[in-house]
Amino acid sequence: MSLLKQLPMNFFKKGTFLMVLALGLFTTSLVAQDATAASLYNKGLASLKAKDYETGYPQIEAALKAAEAEGNEKVVTLAKKNGAKAAYNLGSAKRKAKAYDEALTLFARGIELNPDYSSNYMGRAQALDGKGDKIEAVKAYISAAGLAEKGGKADRAVQLVKKAGSIVGKLYSGKNYAGAIEAGKAHLALKETDKVHYYLGQSFSKTKDNANAATHINKAVELATAAGTAVPDKYYWAQGNILEATGNKADALAAYKKITGEKYKANADFKVKELSGK
């Protein structure tokens, strides 16, 4: 009897199973090797549409890597565009979970993928603010505002500038005058606003630097006047106080006389009488 005839039937069953398994693994390997940048991108895009950013973001990154290797410029462009959006959405989830460093890494990658997409700058600002890095947060908000304005999103730009200014204001109201001055300077280096000049004027006043205080409070009044809106009484009150401290009583008197609102009026009238000798 031949050796083949001597082998039990279950041997052939096991052998067949092993061959099928091996063939299956080989086929799977081929499919993985044949995965194109386009197919990887489509999978990633499907995950993003389902708002599964944890899955979709790395899929888009894999698609980008494959597209660069293939020289597929169309997929490279699409992967960078949607990769920036995916980085923002995943970064936002990390930020909300207070995983600030992870969030910042994602926002930085999003900016790298698409420097013109303002949301990652906004996310970066929010993460920096949450982490306590107020100066960099101010810069990031202003950068985001500039891009939003460039992209035709004027309303968003206004809100982002307000957020940057509110950081300066919170530092001032929290009596962190040194922090307010540093954050205010960072803000003004990128974007001038009357409110930030006001906070700087007040912060310098609190630190007894009346010369710088006068420069900024005068600029706050100037910008508010140029905007064509009513100058807040608190600006005139601060201006009067600061100019009086510098010894400029004539201009201080003029500032006090411009106050009309109830909150400051009584004190302003007292100052007018005091400085005019009446």
Question: What is the tens place of the pLDDT at every residue in 104-121?
Answer: 999 999 999 999 898 999
Q: Is 156 helix (H, G, I), strand (E, B) or coil?
A: helix
Given 1.10.10, 1.20.120, 1.25.40, 3.30.1490, which CATH number is that of 38-115? 1.25.40
72: pLDDT strictly greater than 60: yes
**Domain ranges, ordered by start, for the chain:** 38-115, 192-278
Residue 203 contacts residue 184 (beta carbons within 8 Å): yes
Rounded to whole angstroms, how far apart are CA atoms 60 and 53? 10
Question: What is the tens place of the pLDDT at every residue in 24-59?
Answer: 433 333 233 447 999 999 999 999 999 999 999 999
End-to-end CA distance of the chain: 134
What per-residue string of b and e applies to 85-115 under the rule 16 or more CB within 10 Å gives b?
A: bbbbbbbbebbeeeebebbbebbebbbebbe
124: pLDDT strictly greater than 70: yes
CA-CA-CA-CA torsion sign (240, 243, 245, 248): negative
CATH fold match for the domains 38-115 and 192-278: yes
What is the per-residue pLDDT for 20? 36
129: pLDDT strictly greater than 70: yes
1: pLDDT strictly greater than 60: no
What is the per-residue pLDDT for 33? 41
Question: What pLDDT band is residue 75 in, cutting at 50, 70 and 90?
Answer: very high
**Can you tell me the mean pLDDT for 117-143?**
94
Rounded to whole angstroms, how far apart are CA atoms 268 and 264? 6
- Tell which CATH architecture fits domain 192-278: Alpha Horseshoe (1.25)
What is the per-residue pLDDT for 151? 87
**Can you tell me the mean pLDDT for 84-99?**
97
φ and ψ at residue 72, rounded to 5 degrees: -90, 90
Question: What pLDDT band is residue 278 in, cutting at 50, 70 and 90?
Answer: low
Mean pLDDT of the chain: 88
What is the per-residue pLDDT for 30? 27
What is the per-residue pLDDT for 100? 98
Q: Of the given ranges (10-14, 66-70, 85-89, 250-254), which has the lowest mean pLDDT?
A: 10-14
Higher-pLDDT residue of 255 and 31 is: 255
Question: What pLDDT band is residue 217 in, cutting at 50, 70 and 90?
Answer: very high
14: pLDDT strictly greater than 60: no
Higher-pLDDT residue of 229 and 112 is: 112
pTM: 0.77
Residue 161, both tokens: 């500038």
